[in-house]
Structure 1
Amino acid sequence: MNGKPWETENWNVSQCNYWDEVRESFRLAPHIQFHDATLRDGEQSPGVVFSVEDKIAIAKQLDEIGMHRIEAGMPAVSPQDFEAICRISRLGLKAKLFAFSRAMPGDIEKVVASGVSGAVIEITCGESRLKYAHPKWSLEDVVRQSVETVRFAKRHGLYTVYFPYDTTRADPAFLKELLREVCEQADPDAVAVVDTTGTILPSALRVLVGRVREYVGGRPVEIHTHNDLGMGVANALAAVEAGAEVVHGCINGLGERCGNAAMEEMVVAAEALYGIRTGIDCSRLRETCLLLERLSGVKVPFNKPIAGPAAYMKESGVGIKVATEHPLVTFPISDRFVGGRRTLVLGKKSGKDSIHMKLDELHETLSEEKVERLLAQVKELSIRERRYLTDAEFRALLDSVR
């Protein structure tokens, strides 16, 4: 280490993240845990259906990389989901296993039977959801149903996470009274703040998490965010700054509508931007993302951080030598750190240095005159096809100018 936590062999990020005036406002918990919900919330992506064997393979992969908590599914959804959770529970994984449940004792009975150690217990508290989906529910009804279910779960030895979803759109007075009553009467082990529709600013979420921490009397606060406005990861990290101790997410940002906060991005951000040692094997993150791509059928976006093909790709000839010799100048996170590989591609934006590097890669040499001719042909083909060249196309052009 060089004494600069923002510049290591694994990353080169902004020094501003480590300024005292920035970090003195943080309320970071001593230990941050990551709770992966891919097997439940990730499967809620339209058209995604994991088989029992898929879920077992995903759970094993998450456990191998050191994920702290795995939400194995919702046993009440189907017999297949229940079977998957039961089989995952018998694997002897190191991760703590949770199952998702509505605030109904009947759901908790299935959670208990599945063999997991924890329950995430949901009930809505969003003002508009109560108005239109449950118009007859009063605050007392929500409190009573919540208290009954949390107590039932605790009597059966489950670690209980109270999950009042749509938290960020709840009436503030309603939310305050709900959380205080449920915590006082049922004593859940933790309480989640849930941005179900991804519609809160990071600055607002910091304030909300701070208030919730006051309402719940010292219990751990967890954060669950969605990405409808592209702020899932930013909001989750803002909650961590405000003292959230557990961060929920899904690999590749899978989930309903625009997805959940991308787990792999949050883990790397925690390491590089906050200096949090997560204990998760980041060198296997890309491998994990590609496994989920294959099993879910949802392709990783081309420019997706960490796992997208463009994340460690360079076409432009400007700065290509620096990008090759000192990659952290161009790529803020080392490709090796996340299990990726830097790739040089050739196209319209390439220059002679790019051609020379590609020739070196192929153990080929050309005169400068032929390099200029080859570059012209590369640019011409790229412009005509409106993309970068494949290696086969480059080899064909190389053969034509020898």
Structure 2
Amino acid sequence: MILNDVTLREGEQMPDRNYTVEQKVEAGLELSELGVESLEVGFPVTGEKDREAIRTLAVEAEADIVGLARAVPGDVEAAADASADVIQVMVPTSDYQLDHVLDKDRESVLQMAREAVDLVVDHGAVPHLILVDAFRTEVEEIRTVAHEFDGVECITLADTVGARLPSGVQRLLEKLEPSVDLERFGVHFHDDLGVGTANVLTAYQAGIGKADVSVASLGERAGNSSLEEVVVGGVLEHDEDFGVETDELIPKCERVLDVLGEQDAISDRKAILGSEVTKHESGIHTAAMLNEPKTFEPFDPGDFGGERDLLFGEGTGTTGASILLSRAGVTPTDERVESFLSVLADEGPVDTEEAVSIAEANFQA
């Protein structure tokens, strides 16, 4: 399964966002260097800014550069003018979308899509389709699109309003699988129910060929499936890195957030990237983790370019204090342990290195 990063488009669709060309290009190059195979940079018909960013990245980035287009000639022309490698045509498929957004019947919309795809080909770009609200569309209708557009290399199924849980994703894909090649399909999830990452990994297990992701889940409403969560989950559960340089994952994602000015958009407790998620202070936890970090963490943050912080202070127990004294070359007698705990309570919380230095400074070996 390849990853298509949508940070630059979806992130800018959040309220009060307006990324510059320079921000999009710099962030896009970071993601391309990370090893993400495909970058959805913007919606070219909205203005020259997105066209310029796409045009620049199409030359400078290793990743395929994707421009989004509605199934109308002007959108396709704008994406082609931007020199997008891939033009992804949006096709609404659910009754909700057809009746209340477009006010068109299904056949009319499919005809618009056929003409848009033909126009993409005429311009020498690669056409992809994204089926808007696909996860609230009847399976037979999705099959119809798949068969009518059998020359399109990728059709993405969008859970546009984030309405599906992993069980629902699995059911739909199981119904599709007998008559279509799931490797030809992609998925696009939103995190409104908090299961964006789980949905992508469910789709991966089913055999889906592409998934949309975004750094720190940046995107409309609750955001999209998280790039870093999908990669870490893939490595831990399936030994699958999706082509990403895993030892650069956290630094590159943090760099993208810095470039886009989104450092404050994520919680300190955000999975993988939050400042608190690899920080430990509980006495029981830190004592055990001094000897074996796996006792209280799901992965070594160093494997993904991050750092672990063990903190010692008022909550440190006798076991942890004994280990720290030993690391300082001090024999951990009962008296020294109690004295050291008192010093830590006064000076903490401090990290492991500083705690050892305190022990060295206060006690004779």
Short-chain TM bin: 0.7 to 0.9
| 2:239 pairs with 1:275 | yes
The alpha-carbon deviation at position 241 of structure 1 amounts to: 1.4
Match of 2:36 in 1: 67
What TM-score, normalized to structure 1? 0.79
Q: What SS is found at the alignment partner of 2:283?
A: coil
- 1:143 alignment partner, one of 103, 107, 110: 110
**CA distance in 2: counterparts of 1:319 and 1:178, whole angstroms:** 50
Match of 2:127 in 1: 160
Q: What SS is found at the alignment partner of 1:206?
A: helix
**CA distance in 1: counterparts of 2:46 and 2:285, whole angstroms:** 53
Q: What SS is found at the alignment partner of 1:304?
A: coil
In structure 2, give the amino acid aligned to 1:258.
A
| Paired residues of 1:42 and 1:260 also in contact (CA < 8 A) | no
In structure 2, give the amino acid aligned to 1:89.
A
Q: What SS is found at the alignment partner of 1:98?
A: strand
- 2:295 alignment partner, one of 329, 335, 349: 329
Bigger share in helix = 2
Q: Which has the higher contact order (CA 8 A, sep 6+)?
A: 1
Q: What SS is found at the alignment partner of 1:290?
A: helix
In structure 1, give the amino acid aligned to 2:15.
P
Match of 1:5 in 2: none
Residues 284-323 of structure 1 deviation map (CA, whole Å, 9 limit, x = unaligned): 1111221133223243322222222222211111142431
| 2:203 pairs with 1:239 | yes
- 2:86 alignment partner, one of 118, 122, 141: 118
Query: Does the C-alpha gap of structure 1 residues 224 and 352 become closer, same or farther in structure 2, counting only changes over 3 Å?
Result: same
Match of 1:50 in 2: 19
Match of 2:311 in 1: 345
Gaps of 5+ in 1: 1-31, 382-387
| Paired residues of 2:21 and 2:49 also in contact (CA < 8 A) | yes
Query: Does the C-alpha gap of structure 1 residues 264 and 390 become closer, same or farther in structure 2, counting only changes over 3 Å?
Result: same
Kindly report which structure 2 residues correspond to 1:242-391, keeping only aligned pairs within 5 A, or say none.
242-294=206-258, 295-299=260-264, 300-347=266-313, 349-355=315-321, 369=335, 371-372=337-338, 375=341, 389=349
**CA distance in 1: counterparts of 2:82 and 2:172, whole angstroms:** 34
Residues 14-34 of structure 1 deviation map (CA, whole Å, 9 limit, x = unaligned): xxxxxxxxxxxxxxxxxx111
**CA distance in 2: counterparts of 1:196 and 1:105, whole angstroms:** 23
**CA distance in 2: counterparts of 1:213 and 1:42, whole angstroms:** 32
Match of 1:188 in 2: 152
Q: What SS is found at the alignment partner of 2:31?
A: helix
Query: Does the C-alpha gap of structure 1 residues 77 and 365 become closer, same or farther in structure 2, counting only changes over 3 Å?
Result: farther
The alpha-carbon deviation at position 145 of structure 1 amounts to: 1.5
**CA distance in 1: counterparts of 2:275 and 2:5, whole angstroms:** 23
Match of 1:86 in 2: 55
Query: Does the C-alpha gap of structure 1 residues 211 and 349 become closer, same or farther in structure 2, counting only changes over 3 Å?
Result: same
| 2:189 pairs with 1:221 | no
Match of 2:164 in 1: 200
Q: What SS is found at the alignment partner of 1:341?
A: coil
**CA distance in 2: counterparts of 1:123 and 1:288, whole angstroms:** 33
**CA distance in 2: counterparts of 1:341 and 1:219, whole angstroms:** 36
| Paired residues of 2:314 and 2:349 also in contact (CA < 8 A) | no
| Paired residues of 1:38 and 1:251 also in contact (CA < 8 A) | yes
What TM-score, normalized to structure 2? 0.86
**CA distance in 1: counterparts of 2:69 and 2:327, whole angstroms:** 54
**CA distance in 2: counterparts of 1:359 and 1:307, whole angstroms:** 32
**CA distance in 2: counterparts of 1:243 and 1:270, whole angstroms:** 13
The alpha-carbon deviation at position 206 of structure 1 amounts to: 1.4
In structure 2, give the amino acid aligned to 1:121.
V
The alpha-carbon deviation at position 133 of structure 1 amounts to: 2.5
The alpha-carbon deviation at position 100 of structure 1 amounts to: 1.1
Identity of aligned residues (%): 26
**CA distance in 1: counterparts of 2:202 and 2:149, whole angstroms:** 30
Gaps of 5+ in 2: none
